[in-house]
Amino acid sequence: MLKLEKDTRHKVRFVLNGSPVSGWADARMLLSDFLRQELGETGTHVGCEHGVCGACTVRIEGRAVRSCLTLAVQAEGFDIQTVEGLAGDDGALNALQTAFRKHHALQCGYCTSGILMSLTDMFQRNPSPSRDEIEDVVGGHICRCTGYAGIMDAALEVAEAGAGK
């Protein structure tokens, strides 16, 4: 097992949205803080820092993870995707993002990054989830603005198109 010194900064390297990145982190630094403060990738938001609200959700090796409950050093060597990595190579919104806009599934946009990452995880494993399955995933997030109706509509549209890949 890797042992890390408390008062030493450690080099952390991983693949972020397809590109290798690296930075320095104390052993206790959260992945959310590392992404935002060390790498300057501020699309991942911090809402509660105790794992309930879901705003900070990112994908590590494809699985949705709360970055506020993950240490930066734990991410060493992994493949990580954040909201900044969702749009296509040409910068165009993907099917889920487009559906979010169409169905007014976001207002302030603060919780949106995390919800998009959780739904992306779900669609990756199940391109045509049922309403209940979608609700299970959205139920892991708090949105204060929208009342969730637009989020459900957007996810259902993507599910029905089977385009959730």
Tokens of 147: 């009342």
Compare residues 43 and 129 and give the one whose CB is closer to other proteins: 43
Minimum Å distance from CB 3 to other proteins?
20
Residue 101 is a binding residue for other proteins (CB under 8 A): yes
Tokens of 15: 């693949």
- Give me the half-sphere count of Cα atoms (radius 13 Å) on the Cβ side of residue 152: 11
| Residue in 97, 122, 157, 164 binding other proteins, rule: CB under 8 A | 97
**C-alpha torsion 94→113→101→91, nearest 10:** -40
Mark the segment that binds other proteins (CB under 8 A) among 59-67, 71-79, 122-130, 135-143. 135-143
Residue 154 is a binding residue for other proteins (CB under 8 A): no
| Residue in 14, 16, 47, 73 binding other proteins, rule: CB under 8 A | 47
Give CA–CA dist 130/142, Å, rounded. 20
Minimum Å distance from CB 133 to other proteins?
12
Tokens of 143: 């949105």
Cα→Cα distances 62→81, 82, 105, 126, 151, Å: 8, 10, 23, 13, 21
Mark the segment that binds other proteins (CB under 8 A) among 52-60, 69-77, 121-129, 157-165. 52-60
Minimum Å distance from CB 38 to other proteins?
11
| Residue in 34, 36, 59, 123 binding other proteins, rule: CB under 8 A | 36
Q: Quote the strand ranges of the chain, DSSP E.
A: 9-16, 19-26, 57-60, 63-66, 79-81
- What residues make contact with other proteins under the rule CB under 8 A? 26, 28-29, 36, 41-45, 47-50, 52-53, 55, 82-84, 86-87, 93, 97, 100-102, 104, 106-113, 116, 135, 138-152
